[in-house]
Amino acid sequence: MNEPVWFRRPREASDRFAEAVDRPGHTAAEEFDDELAVVEMLRELGSEPVLEASARERMKAAVLAEAATIQQADEEPEVHPIRPTHKQRRKAGLWAAATAAGIVALGAFGIELAQSALPGEWLYDVKRTTESISLDLTFSPSGKALKQLELAEIRIAELAALSERDRSDGGATAEELAGYRTLIADLNRTVASASRAITSYAPQTNGGDLRTLRDWASRNSTRLADMRSAVPAGAVGQFDGSIELLDRVQQRASALLDRWSCDQITSGHEDALGALPADMVCQPPEDSPRTAVSPRASRAPAEGKESRTPSAEKTAGAPSGGESGDKSSKEPDSSDGGSGNDTDPPTIELPPLPDRESSEPAPEQPTKRPPELPLIPLLEDLTKLDLGLRLK
């Protein structure tokens, strides 16, 4: 084969090295002394044992145990999560809805039971919480003030129930006496707040809430006075303060209502019960409506009588010449209170307009139908007519 010289020389050297490794006494061994020394060292390392037999056995046992574990894991079936069916999901939803409905019903039942709770009982805090939420959800000033009066009346009912309970039990303890004082303080605070609110906005209304406040204070003041003998002696002083507070609220509302027809109702100042009534002389408002009007002159006089105005009668009956002067001096002066003919006609009050809703509508008049024409006689008459038409 024709090989290049640079390929042939490395191949010949490789052949000589292989013969030197295979046959140690070959003549080419001197050429590869260093390489043959390395080969000899590698042979020695391969013939000497690196690990002991016990170590090899432990390693073999560990490898086999790990292989067995991996094989067992591969042979186990893969477990997939089971998805609930539509029926199961629907059943779970029904259970959740029933649980929620039960919780709501239980809460409503607890709130209903709490309405009769008294101070010191475990449901009383639930009762006061619901009252606070109800008051916070009332946004109009009138509704909030009337709600406070309603809550104040609940406090009075609780005071009556406590006094009845303590009378049957033989007296109030120190803890129950503290409950009395707290309840009376809440009553006074609620009544004062309602009075301040109503007296502040009532002058801009028709006064209905102010009348409600006056009647409420009068009724419950009498109620508290009847309960006074059943209240424990340690709370009588504070209880008398509540009675006095309701009397002052009644007097304040009555004083404001007494000035309801005046131009100025309040004085512009306030105290703990609200707006103070004005102390000036009562003057009616300038823009008060008037219900009196002047009558109109009749446009159609009665038959046989002449239509004569008061001025015309005066002109017709007035004397001429000097007699006018004499009679004018004898006639009374209308400015002194006389009733002369030239004065304005008296005013009359119009009757109230009928209520449109209560007035009955006028009965409907029956409509008359035109007479019906007999059809057959009409056709017979048409056949007897000679229209003068001839066919040619």
For position 335, what pLDDT does the model report?
40
Residue 274's φ and ψ, nearest 5 degrees, are 115, -150
Q: What is the mean pLDDT of each run of 10 residues along the chain (392 residues)?
A: 54 75 65 76 68 78 85 67 80 87 83 85 90 93 96 95 86 87 95 96 93 96 94 93 96 95 92 93 68 37 41 41 41 42 50 48 49 55 52 43
> What type of residue sits at position 392?
K
Q: Which of 184, 194, 182, 187 is nearest to 138 (CA)?
A: 194
Q: How far apart are CA 217 and CA 162, in angstroms?
A: 21
Query: Residue 28's closest CA among 14, 17, 39?
Result: 17
The pLDDT value given to residue 319: 42
pLDDT value, residue 375: 55
User: What per-residue confidence (pLDDT) applies to 190?
Assistant: 96
List, as one string, the DSSP characters of 176-207: HHHHHHHHHHHHHHHHHHHHHHHHHHGGGS-S
3-state SS class at 269: strand
Type and span of the H or E element at 270 = strand 266-271
Tell me what pLDDT residue 109 has: 78
Tell me how far CA of residue 310 lies from CA of 189, 300, 307, 324, in angstroms.
69, 16, 10, 18
Sequence length of the chain is 392
Report H helices in the chain.
5-22, 33-47, 53-75, 86-114, 124-136, 141-169, 174-201, 208-227, 236-258, 310-317, 322-330, 375-384
What does the pLDDT read at residue 250? 96
pTM exceeds cut of 0.75 = no
Residue 290 pLDDT: 34
DSSP lists the bridge partners of residue 266 as 277
Distance, CA of 307 to CA of 231 (rounded, Å): 82
pLDDT for 43: 75
Backbone dihedral region for residue 274 (phi beyond 0: left; psi -120 to 50: alpha; all else: beta): left
Sign of the CA dihedral 123, 125, 128, 134? negative
> In the chain, what are the domain boundaries?
1-45, 100-137, 140-277
